[in-house]
Amino acid sequence: MKRKLKGFFGALLLIPTVSFIVFYLFVSLYYTDGFTFNTRINGVYCTGRSVEEVNKELIETTTPKVLYVNCEKYGTEEEVLLSDIDYKIDYTNALEDIFGNQNPFLWILNASKSSPVNNVRPDITFDSAKLYEKVNNLQIVKDHTDNAHFECRLAYSKDKGYFLYENIDELIDVEAVDALSFTAVTDDLKVNITDECFTKPGYTEEMIHDRKLWADISGFLTPKLSYDMGDEPILLDTAILSSFLLYDANNKDFIRNDDGSLFISETSVNKFIDELFDKYDTYQMPRKFVTHLGEVKDIKFSIYGTLLNRKVEKEYLLNALKTGEKGIHVPTYIHEPFSRGLNDIGDTYVEVDMTRQTLCYIKDGEEKMLVDVVTGKPSAGYSTPEMLCYVYRKIPGKYLRGEDYCSWVNFWMPIYKSIGLHDASWQSKFGGNRYLTHGSRGCINMRYDDAKALYDEIEIGTPVIVYK
């Protein structure tokens, strides 16, 4: 009886043991066609999967799209599509190495520990000829090969005068860039074009000649002298200075004096002075004038204005250019206006409106005085002439004498011949139409207080504009 029981219990123990062995063998046989339990490769769960299956997933999830090409020196970032160079990856060899080193019958060992780290690199294939073609067509490469600028010459423009035009791009070492690209495709897919990939080409003989010529003339062409024309300083800049030199295209040099110094064209200097002074000379010329009321008047007769001494200034400038004079030069005048500049009437002047019979004194652009006056009597042939003139004297007290009169005035400010601004004690009224019946012999009659106020303020040389 005891033997039977012992045999029974032995049979019971044998069943699970045999079952476990059968299960273990079944699982082991299952792993003979795939990776063993708890296998991860490059983050992909591979347990029970074949090399082909894992390789397919890795290719689908890890194949890159772009090769990046950067050049920090020129701040460029460009890309090459890997599909354009037949770029392919394959993990088969690396996966087979891992698979070959696994024992499917030892799978249970992996159940008791965390997944081992399996990071592998794929085999990479690509068409190197297509890679070089794509890289060589990148903008950074073209800009420094086919499109590279290579110019250095003496140039001239009307606005700038003579100048050294230099536009020489660095050349890129295409073979070096190709080598960097080849390495990057099999590595991190990032190409960094470094400074060492660029070289600057040397100058040609013609370039060297023009650089030496520029060095010789640049001192003369450096602005040093200005004309003080009043409100508008005129700098003799490089463009102006260039106009004084003569270039001999046949000899590729500037015309020079016997001692080798640059020849300065007197004709060109005279032309410059004439053209400049033509803008400023206004003496005795008709002009338009805008009154304080905004009316435009045509002033045809004038004894006022600017008249520069051209002869003196032509001689001065020619000598100043030869000696390299520096500074600010005030030109010599034959007739200097009260206000120097293009607007030589300036913002301080006297207006006499014969229609309204008023005098307006403008100082520094502001109206200081607007008073009634009496001008010349037209019916007696003493109409005050329309003109642009100026106060050329101030006399504090004077007898005005004529064939049939002798009148004392306290404030005499002559503006043209015997015509002047003055007080007129004999006038009982001013303004309106009084000039038609009690007009002067051409002078501008003013009240005593008005004449005194003007006399105290006005300076000799102040422009006076008389109009209707």
Domain ranges of the chain: 208-263, 349-467
Look at residues 122, 138, 130, 121 and name the one whose alpha carbon lies nearest to residue 82.
130
> Do the strands 247-248 and 463-467 form a parallel or antiparallel pair, or are they unpaired?
unpaired
pLDDT in tens, 77-112: 999 999 999 999 999 998 889 888 876 656 565 555
Predicted local confidence at residue 39, as pLDDT: 85
Task: Name, in order, each residue with C-beta under 8 angstroms of 16's C-beta and a sequence gap of 6 or more.
Answer: none
Structure tokens at 279: 């803008």
Q: Can you tell me the mean pLDDT for 55-80?
A: 94
Distance CA 165, CA 31 (A): 76
* Sole residue written with tokens 């030199």: 245
Predicted local confidence at residue 2, as pLDDT: 53
Distance CA 28, CA 108 (A): 9
* Reduced DSSP (H G I as helix, E B as strand, rest coil) percent helix, strand, coil of the chain, to 5: 35, 30, 40
Distance CA 369, CA 363 (A): 9
Average pLDDT, the chain: 91
- The CATH architecture assigned to 349-467 reads Beta Barrel (2.40)
Q: Can you tell me the mean pLDDT for 153-180?
A: 95
Helices and strands: H and E segment counts in the chain: 12, 30
Residue 278 main-chain phi, psi, to 5 deg? -60, -30
Contact 248, 255 (CB under 8 A): yes
Buried b (16+ CB within 10 A) or exposed e, 242-259: bbbbebeeeeeebeeeee
Residue 3 pLDDT > 80 = no
Handedness of CA 311, 314, 320, 323 (dihedral sign): negative
> Do the strands 44-45 and 40-41 form a parallel or antiparallel pair, or are they unpaired?
antiparallel
Predicted local confidence at residue 117, as pLDDT: 72
* High-pLDDT (> 90) share of the chain, %: 81
Residue 432 pLDDT > 80 = yes
Alpha helices in 282-380 (DSSP H): 310-323
Distance CA 23, CA 20 (A): 5
Q: Can you tell me the mean pLDDT for 128-139?
A: 95
pLDDT in tens, 302-354: 999 999 999 999 999 999 999 999 999 999 999 999 999 999 999 999 999 99
Contact 438, 357 (CB under 8 A): no
Distance CA 66, CA 357 (A): 88
Greater model confidence, 121 or 403: 121
Q: Can you tell me the mean pLDDT for 257-275?
A: 97
Q: Give me the half-sphere count of Cα atoms (radius 13 Å) on the Cβ side of residue 321.
A: 28
Buried b (16+ CB within 10 A) or exposed e, 178-188: bebbbebbeee
pLDDT in tens, 353-366: 999 999 999 999 99
Farthest-apart Cα atoms in the chain, separation: 183
Taking the CB of residue 118, how many other CB atoms lie within 10 A of it?
17
Alpha-carbon distances, residue 343 vs 63, 168, 229, 280, 385 (angstroms): 77, 47, 11, 8, 23
Bridge partners (DSSP) listed for residue 366: 363
Contact 112, 139 (CB under 8 A): no
| End-to-end alpha carbon distance in the chain | 158
